[in-house]
């Protein structure tokens, strides 16, 4: 018999863990997710989160509070009498009453090798910094920002051309396996907890769209890391002089340029970058080579 468990998550990243815990036989007494957001073609329809959709598919009870700060919400949480809460990219602050609202506490799956990249955007920041590896960690939550003791770790290599989207999917699947293992160990009393070291702390601040414009004056490797770190969202961008004047161009994939380049090649402070996959405003993504062919003329990127 499994644990009596509360699951708390919102985006696609959390879904494999919800499915894996359900398949492992735990009694998921409630799923918490952020409230439905405006969506649809005109933004008029309320669209439930991926986690809410999955929970409803699995016929699990769902709650979508705007906040957990009220006494009423905290009492409702405690009334579930759960053994443990699993938190994966939920997106809401957990007050102390929630952290203490289950028999065994709250456990978080965090997408970095803590204490490196605490905070909101660890996958983006690891790639943008040029890290060669990252991982998933199961951590017992406390009141700090990703400061709790860690339990289990799965390290994942970051390929030199890997994008945030690709790493996101790898870590999501790795986290699902790791959390099932963690809950099994927690249930039988063998889950280790180790305090995080004080050295090596870095913070992964939330991605700001204002930082997405490419600065070609930086070294080519830094530009390449930025492009893949911001792909697919929000997407690094530049401008070029097209047939109708200056246009914005989103760059979704790149590589350090060599003699075999097929797409546009842009000189940087140290070396050059080939634009492997790009997207014009209002168009679908295409290869850099197809982009050049579509222009039918020479390309001049605005690097100012």
What DSSP line would sit under 193-247, residue for residue?
-BPPPSTT--EEPPP-GGG-B--TTS-HHHHHHHHHHTTTTT-EEEEEEETTEEE
Helix (H, G, I), strand (E, B) or coil at 71: helix
**Known binding residues for (6S)-5,6,7,8-tetrahydrofolate:** 112-115
Binding-site annotation: residue ranges: 112-115
- Nearest to residue 86, comparing CAs of 24, 160, 1? 24
Torsion of CA 266, 268, 270, 273, to 10 degrees: -30
Query: 49 CB contacts (<8 Å, ≥6 apart)?
Result: 10, 11, 33, 34, 36, 37, 64
Q: How far is CA 221 from the centre of its chain?
A: 22
- DSSP H or E stretch at residue 292: helix 288-295
């Amino acid at each position: 018999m499994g644990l009596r468990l509360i699951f708390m998550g919102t985006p696609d990243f959390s879904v494999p863990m919800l499915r894996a815990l359900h398949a492992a036989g735990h009694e998921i007494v409630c799923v918490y997710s952020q409230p439905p957001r405006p969506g649809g073609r005109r933004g008029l329809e309320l669209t439930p989160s991926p986690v809410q959709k999955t929970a409803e598919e699995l016929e699990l009870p769902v709650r979508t509070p705007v906040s957990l700060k009220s006494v009423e919400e905290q009492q409702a949480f405690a009334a579930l009498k759960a053994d443990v809460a699993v938190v994966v990219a939920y997106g809401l602050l957990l007050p102390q009453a929630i952290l203490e609202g289950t028999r065994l506490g709250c456990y978080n799956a965090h997408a970095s090798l803590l204490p490196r990249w605490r905070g909101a955007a660890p996958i983006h920041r690891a790639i943008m910094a040029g890290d060669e590896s990252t991982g998933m960690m199961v951590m017992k939550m406390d009141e700090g920002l990703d400061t709790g003791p860690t339990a289990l770790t799965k390290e994942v290599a970051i390929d030199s051309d890997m994008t945030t989207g690709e790493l996101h999917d790898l870590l999501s699947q790795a986290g699902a396996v790791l959390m099932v293992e963690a809950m099994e160990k927690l249930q039988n009393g063998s889950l280790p907890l180790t305090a995080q070291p004080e050295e090596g702390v870095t913070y992964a601040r939330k991605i700001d769209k204002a930082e997405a414009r490419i600065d070609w004056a930086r070294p080519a490797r830094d530009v390449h890391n930025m492009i893949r770190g911001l792909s697919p969202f929000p997407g690094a961008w530049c401008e070029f002089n097209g047939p109708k004047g200056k246009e914005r161009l989103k760059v979704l994939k790149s590589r350090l340029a060599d003699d075999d380049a097929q797409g546009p090649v842009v000189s940087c402070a140290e070396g050059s970058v080939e634009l492997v996959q790009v997207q014009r405003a209002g168009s679908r993504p295409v290869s850099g080579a197809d982009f050049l062919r579509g222009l039918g003329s020479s390309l001049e990127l605005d690097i100012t």
